[in-house]
Chain A
C-alpha cells in the first residue's frame, strides 16, 4: 500500500473537512431554528474569503504587510467574521423575515434569489478571475513530518485547530449561555418560546450572525490553505456544506462537524483512489448524499422528525 498517498489524502481530507464543517454549522443552526434552507450561505462564505483578501490588501499585501503575518491573519479572520455576520443578519432581515409565515416554498425561492444576487454582484464588482492570498509570503509555510510518509503543514494544522476551536466555542455558547438557551427554546417551539418572553427576532438574527461568521472563517481558511479565491467558489462549497449538515444530521452541532469531516475525507479519498476521481470527486460526494438519504434520512446524529399537525 502506498502510505504516502494515503496520509496525503487523509491530511487534505481533514483540512477540507474542517472548512466544510464550518459551513455546515451555519446551515444546521439556521435550519434548526427556522426550518429554512439558506441557499445564500455558500455565497456568504465567498464574501468572507473576499473580505479577508481585501483586508490583506489594505494591510499592505502579502509581500509587505504592515504588521506581523500572523497578526494580519488574525485581523483578516476578525474583520471577515464581523462583516459576514452583519451580512447574514441583513439577509435574514430583508429577505427571510417578511416571509416567516408565508408558504414554505416562498422563502426558499427568496433564498435562491439572494444567492444569485450575491454571486453575480461579486462577479460584477470583483470579476471572474482568481485572486491569490499568497500564503507562502504572508506567514511562511512549514511542513512537518512524522516518519517518512506523514506530512502536514502549519497552515493545515492551523485550519483544523481553528475549526475545532470555533466549534467548541459555538457548542459552549449554545449550551451554557442565556442566549444559547433562548436559541434552543426557539428551535424547539418558536411560538411557545415567544410566549415565554424570548425575543424571537433577536434570537434569529443572532443565529444568522453566528452562522455567517463561521462561514466567513471558513472562507478565509480556504484562501489560506488553497491560496486562491474566486467569485463563484460559494456555490459548490455551499452544496457540500449542506451535504455535510445533512449527512451528520441537520440541527445537530456535533453532527455538522462529523459530516464535514466525512465529506472532506470522501472527496479526498475519491480523488486519490476511485476511477475518474480527479474530475468526478463531487459525483462521489453526491452518491454519498443519496446513499445517506436512503439509509438514514435523519443523518448520522440527527433525531427522527416527528411531524406535528
Chain B
C-alpha cells in the first residue's frame, strides 16, 4: 500500500505531474467510490466496541471450549435449583433447543421453510404413547420404542418431503402448514368415536384419545433402568443435546453441510454444479423430522401424556423465534435463543416480574438503539415528565381515568400508579389505545432524527398505558405470542439472518 503514498522525489526541472494525494482511509469523504466498494467486505466483517471484542474472542476459541461454555452452566443447573424451576427453566429450555436444532437443519442449513415441523414433534410423542402407555395397553421398552419413533418420523418426513421435489420454496411452506393442521385435526378426533374412520381389517380404534389426549404414557425404561425423576430426564435430554450439537458441528463442516448451504444460497446454481438438490432436500427434511420425533418421545414421557393443544401453531412460532433469534444456521446460537425465548415468558408469568422485564427491556432497547447517549436520556426524562403531566391533567378533568389500581407490582407498581393512567372499565379505551400504539410505532419507523425522539415520547407512554391496562392481563397467552410475532417481523427487517447468524453477501 505504500506506493499510494510517496512516489519518487521530483527533480526541479521535471514537468509538474499530478501526484496522487495519499489517501487517508479513515476519511470517508476522500475515499473514492471504487475503494469504498472494494472495502465493503472488510467493513462488514469489522466488529467494533465491546460486543465486537467478545464476538472476536468467541470465534477464536476452539469448538470444544465453546461447547463446554455453552453446556457447562446447564450441567450444574440442577444443583442450584429446585424441582419446579428445573422443569420449567431447564428441561423445557433443552427440549426447545433440541427442537430448534432440528429445525435449524431444515430452515437454516437447507433453506426449506418447513411449517409442519411441530407435527413431527407431536407424532413422536403420540407414537411413543401408543407403544408404551396405560392408554394403549402396550408397554414397550424405550430402547426399542425410541428407534422405532425416530425411524418412522424420518419416514413421515420423507413422505412429506417428497412433495418438495416438485415445489418451489413457498409452496412447500403452505403444504407443510396444512400438514400440521391436518395432524392436529387427526389427533383431536382419532379416538374411535362416532365420527372417526373405520380402518380396514381392524375397524374403529382409539389411537390418540381425541381431545382429551393420550394419557398414562410410560416413563422411559432404558435397558431396565427407569427414568422417573425430572433430574433424570434433564440429564438425558442434556446429553442428547450435546451429542446432537457435536454431530451437527461435524455435519456442518462436511461435504453434505457445504452442499446444504449451496442449496440454501441458490438452488439453481447448486443444481448446475451437480449438487443432488432433491436428495439433499429430503435428507434435511428427514433429519429435522427425526430430531423432532425423538424430542417428542422425550416430551411425551416427561409429561406422561400427549395432548393435542401442545402441538399447534403457537409452539411452531416459538421454535421459529428461537431459530431466528439464535441465527439461521448457527448451532450455538440456538441454545441462547432457547434460553431467551423460554426464559423470558416464564419470567413473565408473574405480573410483577413481567412489569420489571417490560420496562427494563424498553429502557435497554432505547439505549442500544439511540445514539448519541444523551438522546435516550432526553427521551426517557421527557417520557417521565410527559406521563406526570398527562396524569395531572387527567386527574383534574377525567376522574375515571385514575380510578383503577395496579394489582401487586411492588414498589414499581405503586410508583406507576401516579404516572400511568388507569381508567376503571378500561376495555374499549385500552383497545383504541392499542390500535393507536400500533399506528404510532409504525409512524416511528418513518420519521428520523429529533422528530423520532419527539414521537417516541408519547409512543412510550402509550406503550406503558396499553401494557398496564391490556397486555398485562394475558401475559402468558396472547401477549406472549404478540411479542413473538413482532419480534419475528422486526428481526427480519433489521437483520434477515438472525441475531447470531452471519449476515450474507447478496451477489447480484
Interface residues of A, Cβ cutoff 8 Å to B: 31, 35-37, 90, 93-95, 98-99, 101-110, 112-117, 119-121, 123-125, 235-236, 239, 242-243, 246, 275-276, 278-280, 282-283, 286, 289-290, 293-294, 297, 305, 307, 309
Q: Which of A35, A102, A109, A239 has a CB less than 8 Å from the CB of B178?
A: A239
User: Known contacts A35-B170, A293-B171, A305-B168: does B268 contact A105 (CB below 8 Å)?
Assistant: no
Task: Determine if B174 and A242 form an interchain contact, defined as CB atoms under 8 angstroms apart.
Answer: yes
Complex CA–CA separation, A125 to B289 (angstroms):
36
Chain A residues positioned under 8 Å from B489 (CB to CB): 94-95, 110, 113-114, 117
Whether B485 lies near A289 (C-beta < 8 A) is no
What is the CA–CA distance of A115 and B178 in the complex, to the nearest angstrom? 15
Contact indicator A90/B504 (Cβ below 8 Å): no
Q: Are A99 and B496 in contact (CB under 8 A)?
A: yes
Indicate which residue in B169, B170, B189 contacts A280 across the interface (CB closer than 8 Å). Answer: B189
B186 at interface, CB cutoff 8 A? yes
Residues of B within 8 A of A119 (CB): 481
Residue total for B at the interface (Cβ-Cβ under 8 A): 57
Q: Is B148 an interface residue (CB 8 A)?
A: no
Q: Does B181 contact A (CB under 8 A)?
A: yes
Taking the nearest CB of chain B, how far is it from the CB of A140, in angstroms? Answer: 31
**Which residues on B are within 8 Å of A, measured CB to CB?**
107, 111, 113, 115, 163, 166-171, 173-175, 177-179, 181-182, 185-186, 188-189, 195-198, 268, 313, 317, 320, 324, 328, 431, 434, 442, 445, 470-471, 474, 477-479, 481-482, 484-489, 492-493, 496-497, 504, 506
Q: Is the CB of A290 within 8 A of B163?
A: yes
B189 touches A105 (CB 8 A): no
Q: Is the CB of A108 within 8 A of B173?
A: yes
Choose from A94, A114, A275 the contact partner of B198 (Cβ within 8 Å). Answer: A275
Q: What residues of B have a CB within 8 angstroms of the CB of A123 in the complex? A: 474, 477-478
- Could you say which of B167, B177, B186, B445 contacts A283, with CB atoms under 8 Å apart? B186
24 contacts between A and B (CB under 8 A): A37-B170, A94-B442, A102-B492, A103-B111, A105-B111, A105-B328, A108-B170, A110-B492, A113-B485, A113-B487, A116-B484, A116-B488, A121-B482, A124-B434, A124-B478, A236-B181, A246-B171, A276-B189, A276-B197, A279-B195, A283-B185, A286-B178, A286-B182, A289-B175
Known: A99-B496, A293-B166, A307-B268. A37 touches B173 (CB 8 A): yes
Interface of B is mostly: helix
User: Given known contacts A108-B113, A112-B317, A121-B482, is B198 in contact with A95 (CB within 8 Å)?
Assistant: no
Chain A residues near B186 (CB-CB < 8 A)? 280, 283
B189→A279 contact, CB < 8 A: yes
- B179, closest chain A residue (CB): A286
Residues A282 and B486 in contact in the complex (CB < 8 Å), given A101-B506, A109-B320: no
The 7 A-B residue pairs with the shortest CB-CB distance, nearest first, are A113-B488, A117-B485, A116-B485, A113-B489, A106-B496, A110-B492, A124-B478
Contact in complex: B197, A280 (CB < 8 Å): yes
> In the complex, what's the smallest C-beta–C-beta distance from B180 to chain A, in angstroms?
10
Tell me whether B504 and A294 are in contact (CB under 8 A).
no
How many Å from the CB of A150 to the closest CB on chain B?
A: 27
Please indicate the chain A residues that have their CB under 8 angstroms from the CB of B178 in the complex: 239, 243, 286, 289
The answer to whether A90 and B442 touch across the interface, beta carbons within 8 angstroms, is yes
When distances are taken between beta carbons in the complex, the residues of chain B under 8 Å from A283 are: 182, 185-186
Contact in complex: A235, B113 (CB < 8 Å):
no
| Contact yes or no, B182 A282, CB < 8 A | yes
Complex CA distance for A293 and B166, rounded to whole angstroms? 8
Residue of B nearest to A103 (CB): B496
Q: Chain B contacts of A125 at CB under 8 A?
A: 431, 434, 470
B178, B179, B313 — most chain A CB neighbours (10 Å)? B178
With both beta carbons as reference points, the residue of chain B lying nearest to A295 in the complex is identified as B166
The answer on a CB contact under 8 Å between B482 and A117 is: yes
Question: Which of chain B's residues has its CB closest to A36's CB?
Answer: B170
Cα-based distance from A105 to B478 in the complex (angstroms) = 25
Cβ 8 A contact of A109, one of B195, B488, B504? B488
Contact between B485 and A282, CB atoms less than 8 A apart: no
How close is B173's CB to chain A, nearest CB, in angstroms? 6
**Other contacts beyond A246-B174, A275-B197, A280-B195: 19, CB < 8 A:** A37-B170, A90-B442, A99-B496, A102-B492, A103-B111, A113-B485, A113-B487, A114-B489, A115-B485, A116-B484, A120-B482, A239-B178, A242-B174, A276-B195, A278-B195, A279-B189, A280-B186, A297-B166, A307-B268
Assess whether A116 is in contact with B189, with CB atoms less than 8 Å apart. no
